[in-house]
Each structure stands twice: as structure tokens, then as C-alpha cells.
Structure 1
Amino acid sequence: MDPLLSLFDPQVDSDSEDIIITETRSATLLSQNGSLPPECEEGNIEYKLKLINPSKTRFEHLVTQMKWRLREGHGEAIYEIGVEDKGLLIGLSQEEVNASLETLYLMADKLGATITILRERIITNDEDNCKARKYTDHRPHKCRKAVEVLVRKVPDDQQTIELRIAVLGNVETGKSTLLGVLTQGETDNGRGSARLNLFRHRHEIQTGRTSSISKEILGFDNKGVPITYNVCRTPEEICEMSSKLLTFIDLGGHQKYLKTTVFGLIAMHGHYAVLVISSIGGVFAGTAREHLGLALALEVPVIVVVNKIDITDNRSLTQTLIQLETLLKSPVCKKIPVRVETEDDVFTYASRLTTDHIIPIFTVSCVSGYGLNLLYKFLYVLPPSVSVNDRQRLIDSKVEFQIDETFQVPEVGLVVSGLLISGLIREGDYLKIGPFDCGLFSPVQVSSLQRHKVASRSVRAAESATLALMSYNNDIDLEKSVRKGMVLIEINDNSYGHKICQYFQARIHVLFHVSMLCPGFQTTIYIGNVRQTAVVVAIMGKKYVSTNESASVMFRFIKQPEYIKNGSRLLFREGPSKGIGHIVQVFPIITKTNDNSL
């Protein structure tokens, strides 16, 4: 049995799993072996021994090189000064460091980028660092330094660098309180005062439990200072003052809201996931293990925050951390847990989060504020996950806007919110919305749009937004007919008819099932922003599928047709039964008109 599957099996106790102990060595300026890995031609990390008085031609080459590293890092680059191309830490005198940083500032200024010194390392002359002495004329007692610098440039077509972070965890672990403290800039009073601004419904305030999907933003300026509601009064001010913007997606932790949580995790396309664990509740309480399994199955990088350490003793906290590390290192997860206790840990593990199999662990208190400073710094240096080239390719593609929520606003009309998967939408554009129950689309116009509750003129691929729509078809009532799961596409896009289906075929892998998955089995299907019950029509080449088995399965949506694309990721869940997969073929429905429009 695949060890990951035990995260979804309610009968499995993770304490019984065998443990894989994996050592991790940090390849950073503070590593004790005196060297870094050799410089890679690709990526956003650049090694420079020194940058002192370059010629005009050399300076232009350095600027071009910085531009390349910024593109590779999606607007962010890391410069290691005082380091050879092979990774050996040579170090520079203070005068050489100052001269190199001055050149770096001039390079960044020419590109409109900003510079932030992340950390320094003092390099001593010892017998293991003979080559360092060869490159310097300093006496052994002379202090030499290597410096790590963050270079950041917001892309020309963006106001900020943006990330979406899903927040997971069991009920009563303090997820909403943690987000309230981070975004408001004030600690909690111990009774949940910080979370009140995140709740959307009266029953959430009364029970203290999140039942819906709520979003909140946190900004950082060029120096890494958090821009919160303690500094700004409105989201517009936060957006204007920030060079980096994080959108937190607060998801419910109670078992009865798990469908909403799964929908939010898949439909919102989070770049990272924060799993909040209570230091007094334990690692295996409630839905925590299942939330972790979902994030790992969807290949979303995970960050763990152990909360409420102010109301637990050291013994209980140590036991919780040991349980957590045991689970993450076991064959269940096959990850490397690393505790973040210093600023150097922050910069080390943030840069390796998407490339190595590590899961950083923070310990925080929302009442005393312990550990929040390290968490802020970590969020500031988290790398973007979409490259400039990939994003430009998406922008140049046809419009596809996935609707995940609808509103009726007085004097405005229909408003939809969601994520723009590809293309570019401007205010006043004419689009088509659908599919409706009959499988057809209807023309609409974007009368206005907002991003982060701030009016905007356009929205680009990989950005979320809310759009106010006007209908040009009197035969259909948009306000009553538009629902979650629909899409907006270009008015002249005639190829979408091949993606509207009632039947589809998927290659699935069953994560857990109490017995056997057979034809006739009904389950809730999640595909992007689509959430609908579907029935298994046929299993290719098999009579049934059991836990940890794969098969090609034909599904049929129970209610209405949906807009589905080949290759889309799929997740299904019904009670304890769960599985993942991808779409391999859609079977377009036959419509009354040739262009599939009303």
C-alpha cells in the first residue's frame, strides 16, 4: 500500500509507521563546510566574487545578467557576494564589500529594482580554507565577509508580486486568529478578537468556526516591512504601498465543512499551503492529517505553524513537535521537517521550499507574538511560483475565467469572483458565460472589475478578481442562472464546444475506499472550480477498483454539463472514499446550434 494513502484512512495510526530519518544540509552562507553548491546557469541565484569598479562594457553585461536572473526568479534574484562560481566562500574585506554593494545598487537602479541585504557571514582563515587566503592579501586576523542580497523588481505589467496561500488545519487550532494577527498587525487578546474581521457570517462569529472561504491580504514593502491594517485603513492603501502581496485563503477546519475546504484548495489554485497545528490538540486531531494529505496529493508546498504555544508547557510542545516530525519523516509523507528558529533558517528554507523535500516548522503565539517576526520574514522571501515566460504565455492565450462565487449587488447587478486562468480581461470587454443547464453560453459585457476590493482597469492571467457583468440576452436571467463552476471565455472563441461535456473519462488512483469502487458509485467530483456529483458509468478493463489501485473510469455528471479540459487534475470524495486523477478525454454534448451560444 502506498504510504501516502494512510493519511486518508481513518483506521490507520501514523504512530505505527516506519520512520525514514533523512539528514538535510543547508547550502547557505551559514553552512559550516565553507562552500556552496556550484553556480547553476539557470535559476535566480548568482555568485559574484567581487563587483569593484567594472568597466562600462562589463557593467552593461552585469546588468543584462541581473535582468536574466530576475526573469528566472519571477521578479526576485539572490546574489551571493564574496563567493566563487564553484561555490567556495572566499570573502571580502569591508571596503571591498562596500564597493561591491555600491555596484550592485547601480545595477539594480538601472533596472528599477530594489536591494535588500539578507545576511552576512564572517569567514575566518583556517587550515580548511587555504584557497581563501590565496585570493586575499589580508592577514589571518583580518575580518572577511560574504554577503547575501535579495534583488526584487516588480514586472512592468504588475503593480506587485503576488502569491496565494491556502490556510489549512483542524477546527480550533487558531487559523483565523493567526491570519487576523498577521494581517491586522496586532496580537490577539486570548479570546479570538483578531479573527472577527475574517468571519463572513453571524454563525461564524457565534461559534468561532470558519464555515466559508474567506480571503485576506498582507503586503510587504521593498525593505520587508509588513503592510497591515494597523498601518493602512483600506485594501487600496495596502496595494499601493506593497511591492509583494500575499492573499491568504482561510478554509474551514471542521469535518462537516470539508467539501468547502477541498473546493477552496483546488479552485483557488494556492501557490503554498500553511497547515496550522495546535500545540495542545496534537498532530492527529480531527482533520489535520487529511488536510496534510490533500496538500501533498495536490503537490502544494506545505508550511507548518504550531500555534498556541503560550498555553502549553515545554514538555507538551516538545511532544507535539516530535509527533509532527515523526509523521513528516515517515513513509507516509517522505518529507524533511526543519524547525525555523533563526533568521538564517528563514532565508535558507524559503529558497529551498519548492526544490527540496522540506517542510518548515514554525512555533508561534498569537497572544504574546512569539515567532511571528520569523514567520513575517519567511513570507516576505517566499519565491513566486510562476515564471515570467510562463505567465506571458498564459496572458497571450485565450481568456478563461473560472467563477468560484456569485453575488447580487444592489444597483450593480450580477457580480462574479474567481481566478483568471489565461488571457487578459479589460473593463468593457465582451465575453461569453456558461455553460448553462442546456450546455449553451450567453454573451455578457464586463461593466467594471476589482482586484483585492480595489477598482482596476484590467486583470491578467494567474490573478483573481471580481467582475460586474451586464447581459445582452433577454431570454435568460443571469442573476438566477449563473452559478459556481461556470467560466467566462472570449466572445469569438468557437473551440470551447469541445470542452462542454456530461460524460468524461479520467485516469484515477483510489487513495482510500472501504471496499470496492464499482460502476454505479456516486461521488463528488472536484475539477478546478467545478464541484458536482458524478456517477461511475464504466471501469475500463476491470470490474472494480480498490484502495491503492489505478484505472481508467468513465464518469457522468448527475445534473448539468460542465466546462472540462483534457489534462485537468481531478479529485473525488464521498464519505471516507477519496481519489485523485486527471482527465484523459471529454465527450462533447450535442447542442441545438452550431456555435453553442444563446
Structure 2
Amino acid sequence: MDRISVPQSDSAMASVSKKDSVSPKGSAVNGNVPTTKKTAEGLAGLYDSDEDDASGKDGGLDALFLVRNKPEEIERYVIHVRKMLLEGEGETVIEIGVPIDQGGKASGIPTKDLEVAVANHVKALASIPAIGTKIETRTNGAKSTEVWIVRDPPKEEDFIEVRVAVVGNVDAGKSTLLGVLTHSALDDGRGLARTKLFRHKHEFESGRTSSVGNDILGFDVHGTVVNKPDPHNNNLDWVQISRDCCKLITFIDLAGHEKYLKTTIFGMTGHMPDYTMLMVGANMGIIGTTKEHLSLALSLSVPVFIVVTKIDMCPPQILEETMKNIGRLVKSAGARKLPVMVRNTNDVIHAAVNFPSKRVCPIFQVSNVEGTNLDLLRQFLNIVPLRRTLCESDPAHFQIDDVYWVEGVGTVVSGTVLAGTIKVNDTLLLGPNSVGEFVPLPVKSIHRKRMPVSSVRCGQTASFALRKITKREVRKGMVMVDSRLNPISSMQFEAEILILHHPTTIKPNYQAMLHIGSIRQTATLVSMTKEVLRTGDRDRVTFRFIRLPEYIRPGTRMVFREGRTKAVGTVVNVIPQATLAQQRSKFKDKTNRTFVKRGGPKPPNGKPKVEAIKEHA
């Protein structure tokens, strides 16, 4: 019987069967594992394979349908695989030897039949077409199953992209692990691997990341790492990796030090990660910003997996204590997740398939010096599916998270496509500017991971070269949208918030820094339904930006902070800003003052030139 690790108590991680029961919500209450029929069904739903829907007149396909090789059953199987590939944006995990869309469960099929089933499975994939790679063979007595990862054939200028935010306390080994994973070379124990990722002089001097960095790890269609550093300067060729890979993991390397917390929050909100990798040093445990980073990921509804580093230098008793504390933290009331220790390939498959549901929290123990369990972490990243919902047919919406000036090219903006498809020479509305207007601009060229492409679609990150605009006219937080959206800027909006921590009370006119996507601006709390707000309170409030109008959509998650104050919420209503014409009309009704701008040639009548400058409301 397949076995996977789950917590039995706060003091230990134990191995239990897939059929042992946990809460249907994926958390063990008070460390005890309930044994009721209802919770047993909850665990079965948690760990079942993702065979989903190949139903026909007889209600499904049994475990031996690939052995019988009937044309009508194979055709339904092909339809099922195509559907799963479409839902997974080009990849899915399939187990051969189990029924599809049937109530009963099977432990496998005889080994001799499995060989026939695999051969027919390969033929079915060729007709799609798709490419499959075997991950693991599972044996239960005289019966067996095989787990395969199936992907669409590689496409030119296109690959599956999964974004992973890397967080954790300072000195937890974040940059070191990324250096080892992306450059396929172990660390020397003195920080060699992390120096390959630093970008600023003070980072080399202090050994601490202070900016949002991006690093990539590519897998080909068979799951083999394609990163090949240059033997001379040890740099990675992003263009070559993008061309060779079928799946690309983008690591968003964030700062661990508390003084860079605003940069970390911007990376979590502005770069739209699919998953969060929380790093914990085995020798240090849960200290510093670890809990704060975990709460940030949970508040943004981003699934979290934990990597415990430095196990080669940590005494066994300290490592055991660290694992106990991690188990308590993950099962606490604020997280309510099921910690799963990953020790083998079988654990990797179960954790990766069920990870997007946000019920489980996989935990890895690795060593960057000895290479312990790094292969399991790579397998997990290779298998873990996308978590995004496809919306390619919607009007285009691009969120800007950085702006550059490139010599010979001009203004370049980078960000994430939140909806639709954007092609070269498309004209989009850029804004809002300082007065809340949107300006039509053509997209001159598109780069994805430094590789020129002709188009990008929703969920992908890219950089656009823009025409007829300077760098100072563009800022982080602006958007480029399709004109069909009729975008309207806003200075005020309503949100439902939860106060995570505040030392005293919050009243109207309170100001804090808001993070909404890539927007980062101070806002004033204009009104609220309660008289005061304290730690743990929820309320519907109205915010007003103090500087510039922004483009906000209802339903967007937000974070606001000020000193030790931390709160999260969701935008529920946007109050449109008055148009510029309305502002001018409103100002004209209130005052007839005229401002004089002196200078320039005088008119023929000898009177000074007067230019009326109207203020914005």
C-alpha cells in the first residue's frame, strides 16, 4: 500500500496510509487523527489521483480498458487526456492501471497486463499528439500501476511558466538554494552559490538580498533540467533555456531582512506568484520574519511549501525540534494545513498533484553542500501544475511592475498579463497618468525571458518596448488594457479588511502604505462602519489615495502596512474618479482666479502675455 507522511502529533512526523483519515479540510485537530467514515472520505478525496472525466454510456472506464484496447474506449481515453492537457495548460499527471470516473478504486492490474496497457497508452498519446514520461512504478503484491507525466509537444516561442516566490528569514539559505538549483552546482559551505545571483555591490559585501530578483530553472518535455551555465563566466543564457525548455520555473528571490519588508511585500503582490517556497534554516528554526512571510502568503491565498536547509550542519536534536515547531505552525489556527514530509518519489507525486488545492503543505529537508534531497525538490517543481485560470479570450490586461530605459530601444515596461492575449503592434491604453487619463500606445516589440516573441497570453510575464513615451511618464502600478474595458481611474475605493496586528486602535484619517497588485501608494482611511478597529477586527472601509489615481478592479487582494501595523483585505467596490472635464467645470464654478505666467514676446498692443492655468480639482 502506498504510504505518505502526515503529522500524528505536534511532536513527530509519522508515516500513515493513504486510507487513514484526516479532516476533510486537510488539517488534523489538536494533532489527533480522526477515524470517522466522513473524515476517511475526506482523505480519499484529498489524495485521489486526478483522473477526472472520461464518462460514457457505461459511466466510466475500468482499470483494464487499455488492455482490452477497444476503439471506442481508447477514443474516450484520448478525449479525457486532451481535456486534462487543456486544463493544465499543456501538462498533466496520469496513472495507468486505475479506473477513470468510476466510484470503485483499484490497487492496480497484473504486471503482464500493465505492459500491454502502457504500450496502448503510448499509442493513444501519439494520436493526440502528446509526449509522456514515466515517473514511477507502484507495486502492490501481484498488481502494479505506472505514473506518467504527459505534456504537449514543445512549441516555438512558448512554454509553461510557473512562478515561485522564495521567502524566509535572513540567512535561511534562499539565494544559496536558488544558485544550486539554477546552476546545477553544489555550494562550498561559504556562500559560493549565492554570489552567482547577487546584482548589487552591497549584496556581495553583506551577503544579503535587498532587491527582487528573478532566476529561472527549465525542464524539457521529459523533465530533464536544461540549465547549462557558461563554462567561462558561469552565466546562464536565458534565451537558450527558454528555447530548450517545455516548462520554466521562475523563482522570485525576495529579501529576508525586516528592513526590506516593503520590497518583499511588493514582490508577493506585484509579481503574482503561483506558489510560495518558505525557507527555514534547520539550525535556526522559525525566527525573525518567517512567520510574517508565511502569514503574508496565506493572506494572499498563495499555496506554501517549506524547504528546511542546512541539515548537513545541524545536530539531530536541533533538527527534530525545528521539525516539531514547523508542524505546530503549519497546523495552527491561522494556517490549518496538513504538513506532508517528502521522502521519496511517491510522496513527491501525491504532494504535487494535491498541492494547488491549498490543503497540504509539502516539507523538504535539503542540503546545498551535500545535495541531499535536491533531486526530490527538482521532481516536485517539474510535476507541480499551474494554478491559474485561463482567460485568453478576455480583453487584454497587462500589469506593470517595473520600468526601464534601454539604449537604442527606448522605454521598456515589464509585468504580468492578467487577461487576454497581446501581440506585437497591438495598441493598448496606458494609464492612469497623474490626471487619471489613459493614453493609446502601440507595442513595438515583446520579450519573454529575454527571448523575442510575437505574442503573450494571460498568466505569462513579459517586457514591452513602447513608442512615443518617455520613462518618466510611466511608473510601477500602471496598466496597459484593451480599449474594450473602458478603463476608469480611481482615487477612492471600498474594501473589506482584517487587522492582523495593530498596537493600539485605528480611526478615520489613519494613513498606511497600500499594496494592491503592483500598486504601492499611501492612502488615507476615509470612513469605516465601526468607531475603532483593533487587532483581529473585520470591517468595510473606504480608502483614498493621497497622490495619484490608480486603476483597480473589484476582487483584487490587498495588503496595507504602517510600522508594526499589518492588515489584509479585498477590494469590493471602486469609486470612479471624476473626469478631467468635470473637474475643470467644477473648478470654474467655484473660482475665477487667473494665474499669470510671465515671459515670452509681448503682443503688439504692448500688454504682457497672460496665460490662464487652471487647477485640477
TM-score normalised by structure 1 residue count = 0.85
| 3-state SS of 1:103 partner | helix
| Match 1:361 to one of 360, 363, 366 | 363
In structure 1, the partner of 2:30 is 20
* Unmatched 5+ stretches in structure 1: 1-17, 26-32, 125-142, 472-476
RMSD of aligned Cα (Å)? 2.8
Number of residue pairs matched by the alignment: 539
1:261-295 C-alpha deviation (Å, 9 max, x unpaired)? 01110111111000000111111x11011001111
Alignment of structure 1 residues 395-544 onto 2, 5 Å: 395-471=392-468, 478-490=470-482, 492-493=483-484, 495-497=486-488, 500-540=489-529, 542-544=530-532
Q: Which amino acid aligns with 2:276?
A: A
Mapped partners of 2:34, 2:475: distance in 1: 47
Identity of aligned residues (%): 37
| Match 1:65 to one of 77, 80, 91 | 80
Alignment of 1:555 with 2:543, yes or no, is yes
1:203-232 C-alpha deviation (Å, 9 max, x unpaired)? 112111111111111111222212223489
Mapped partners of 1:407, 1:24: distance in 2: 55
| 3-state SS of 1:52 partner | helix
TM-fit CA distance, 1:595: 14
Cα pair 2:50 2:93 within 8 Å, conserved:
no
Q: Which amino acid aligns with 1:48?
A: A
Cα pair 1:38 1:86 within 8 Å, conserved:
no
| Match 1:568 to one of 543, 556, 560 | 556
TM-fit CA distance, 1:41: 4.1
Cα pair 2:399 2:479 within 8 Å, conserved:
yes
Cα pair 2:156 2:243 within 8 Å, conserved:
no
Bigger-Rg structure (1/2)? 2
TM-fit CA distance, 1:158: 7.2
In structure 1, the partner of 2:277 is 274
In structure 1, the partner of 2:6 is none
TM-fit CA distance, 1:439: 1.1
Alignment of 1:339 with 2:341, yes or no, is yes
Cα pair 2:95 2:145 within 8 Å, conserved:
yes
* Unmatched 5+ stretches in structure 2: 1-27, 36-43, 585-617
Mapped partners of 1:379, 1:486: distance in 2: 32
- Seen in structure 2, the aligned counterparts of structure 1 residues 329 and 522 have a Cα distance that, compared at 3 Å, is same
TM-fit CA distance, 1:87: 4.4
In structure 2, the partner of 1:149 is 148
Cα pair 1:171 1:253 within 8 Å, conserved:
yes
1:394-431 C-alpha deviation (Å, 9 max, x unpaired)? 22111211110111111111111101111221112222
Mapped partners of 2:336, 2:98: distance in 1: 33
In structure 1, the partner of 2:215 is 216
In structure 2, the partner of 1:10 is none
In structure 2, the partner of 1:140 is none
Cα pair 1:180 1:198 within 8 Å, conserved:
yes
1:362-415 C-alpha deviation (Å, 9 max, x unpaired)? 1111111111011011111101112xxx41xx2211121111011111111111
Cα pair 2:395 2:485 within 8 Å, conserved:
no
Mapped partners of 2:407, 2:583: distance in 1: 33
In structure 2, the partner of 1:235 is 238
Alignment of 1:119 with 2:136, yes or no, is yes
Worse-matched range after superposition: 441-450 or 525-534:
441-450
Q: Which amino acid aligns with 1:505?
A: E
Alignment of 1:546 with 2:543, yes or no, is no
Mapped partners of 1:36, 1:572: distance in 2: 36
* Structure with the larger RCO, 1 or 2 (CA within 8 Å, 6+ apart): 1
In structure 2, the partner of 1:309 is 311
- Seen in structure 2, the aligned counterparts of structure 1 residues 62 and 336 have a Cα distance that, compared at 3 Å, is closer
Mapped partners of 2:358, 2:471: distance in 1: 47
TM-fit CA distance, 1:251: 0.5
Q: Which amino acid aligns with 2:353?
A: S
| 3-state SS of 1:210 partner | coil
In structure 2, the partner of 1:247 is 250
Mapped partners of 1:488, 1:513: distance in 2: 36
Mapped partners of 1:171, 1:36: distance in 2: 34
Worse-matched range after superposition: 106-115 or 81-90:
81-90
| 3-state SS of 1:64 partner | helix
Q: Which amino acid aligns with 1:20?
A: N
In structure 2, the partner of 1:371 is 373
Cα pair 1:36 1:87 within 8 Å, conserved:
no
Alignment of structure 1 residues 169-188 onto 2, 5 Å: 169-188=168-187
In structure 1, the partner of 2:327 is 325
Mapped partners of 1:343, 1:537: distance in 2: 53
Q: Which amino acid aligns with 1:209?
A: R
Q: Which amino acid aligns with 2:203?
A: E
